[in-house]
Amino acid sequence: MVPFIAVLLAACILLVWKLHKTFSYWDGKGIPHVGLLQYAKDVCNMFARPFHEVYESGHKKYGRLYGTYQDTDPCLVVGEPDLLRLIYIKHFSSFADRNTPQESGNVVWDRMLNAIAGEEWKNMRSISTACFTSAKLRATVPRIARVGRRTADVYVELGRRNQTADVHDISLKSTLDAIVAIAFSIEIDSHKDPENAFRKHYYNIFSREVGWRVLMYFRMPKLFKLFHLLGMSLAPERYTENFVALMRTIIEDRIQNNVRMDDQLQVFLDAATNNKDGKARGMTMDEVISQSLLMLVGGSDTTAWTLTSVLHMLALNESSQEKLIEEIDRVIGKEAVSLEKLDSMPYLEAVISEALRLNRINPCHIRQCTAETTLNGIHFTPGMAVNIPINCIHRDPEFFEEPEVFKPERFLPENKDQIRAFTYAPFGLGPRNCIGKRQALLHLKILLVCIFQKVTLRRRVETVERVAFKSWTLLPQLASPIILQPVPR
């Protein structure tokens, strides 16, 4: 009995010593930091509260620069523009990777552009860039416009019936329809057929059942690896396999019938063909499917939330909505949209930029140090996580006057120069910024023009002023719907 107690006591002492050693990394380094107990509380809050609130509370308590932890690794939270310039640009090679574990339990997730690193990332980024050339974007305009007109018709019909609109539900359906048309040249109408295969399989993958896994995958990668060893995958295997089967059917149909399309899938298939012929390091078929799913992930929910946010903000700020409608009527009128006309609509772009400042869907950019580096007197070691709380930076009163006020005029051409560099980054900055930024902005502009050509949107008694979000998710999910009243023009 005595030897057992001695061993148990020694194990407890060793555990306490190890915990103290691990979670005292920031002690004596001259940086405000989170201790073990506060970190444990933050981990609990990460699952119990909306994710962005954890960063907001840390920003208020510790300021723009503070130390914390990610699993057992030190993590520096950086909201200082001068340091961000070094991380994003000047010393990018030391912070090029993200800290995703690349062991999700399924090769489809592990080969996505956002999950890979080093030379693999460079090669895949180079291939994927071909999806977003000016010529490719121009070709998407009529496809997005068709979805935009259908979306406007949904709002018009609700207005004629004097019925309210669940704005986010409409946005989710419309943006998925648009990205499927852009990526795969397939026309779906999720408003009339909400059970279509793309929508069903896609939203099964990102159901609430998966939310906490995604949160752990990005925020606690070492713990996720442990769960992975115990048999857990990022998404239930049946959901991922359903999507994979759908994609294989589409791909096999193209190959067997020798069909070529002017879309993103064709870019990836061409790269896979090059790989097969040995002309260049291209893509495997698993990678083709991986990037196809990423196009949906990156182009659907994120764009839907931004569209919802813009519509909500404009309904709450009628003068801004009137200015936007005046610009639409003056530049486009009832005609079809074109790239040239969209490029001459500064207020439209300003409205989107301000909505992205206030309501960025991803509250934090993640980087990982890959080489020993010292910046502004702070020593970074390989494996150290760097978190950039972009929502907190966007709402910092030192950078944006009246930060909680919706004020599109900040982003008009005559005022843009007043925005301090590295304080506005909804799509990230540097070589690893969002590869689909231009497509997302084009997508939003077309949908907004189509909607406001046909309707105005008004608040109702049940319209919320401040949006509430669910817990257990990495990306924001609404706790209650955003209800607006469409009024046909």
Query: Is residue 8 situated within a structural domain?
Result: no
**Residue 79, domain extent:** 17-488
Tokens describing residue 290:
């991986």
Query: Is residue 2 situated within a structural domain?
Result: no
Q: What does the pLDDT average to over 391-401?
A: 96
Query: Is residue 6 situated within a structural domain?
Result: no
CATH number of the domain within which 235 lies: 1.10.630.10
Query: Is residue 12 situated within a structural domain?
Result: no
342-351, 399-408, 462-471: the lowest-pLDDT one: 462-471
Torsion, Cα 17 19 22 26, to 10 degrees, reads: -100
Q: What does the pLDDT average to over 179-207?
A: 90
pLDDT over threshold 90, residue 179: yes
pLDDT of residue 297: 82
Binding site for heme: residue ranges?
434
- Domain count for the chain, please give it: 1
Percent of the chain at pLDDT exceeding 70? 90
* Residues whose CB is less than 8 angstroms from the CB of residue 431 and which lie 6 or more positions away in sequence, other chains included: 92, 96
pLDDT of residue 215: 73
For the chain, the C-alpha Rg in angstroms (whole number) is 24
40: left (phi over 0), alpha (psi -120 to 50) or beta: alpha
Query: Is residue 209 situated within a structural domain?
Result: yes
Binding site: residue ranges?
434
Query: Is residue 11 situated within a structural domain?
Result: no
Using one digit for the tens of pLDDT, what is the confidence trace for 222-252?
777 777 777 777 777 788 888 889 999 999 9
pLDDT of residue 390: 94
Q: What is the mean pLDDT of the chain?
A: 88
Bridge pairing between strands 73-78 and 65-70: antiparallel
Query: Is residue 5 situated within a structural domain?
Result: no
Query: Is residue 10 situated within a structural domain?
Result: no
Using one digit for the tens of pLDDT, what is the confidence trace for 308-351?
999 999 999 999 999 999 999 999 999 999 999 999 999 999 99
pLDDT of residue 323: 98
Using one digit for the tens of pLDDT, what is the confidence trace for 15-35?
666 666 778 899 989 999 998
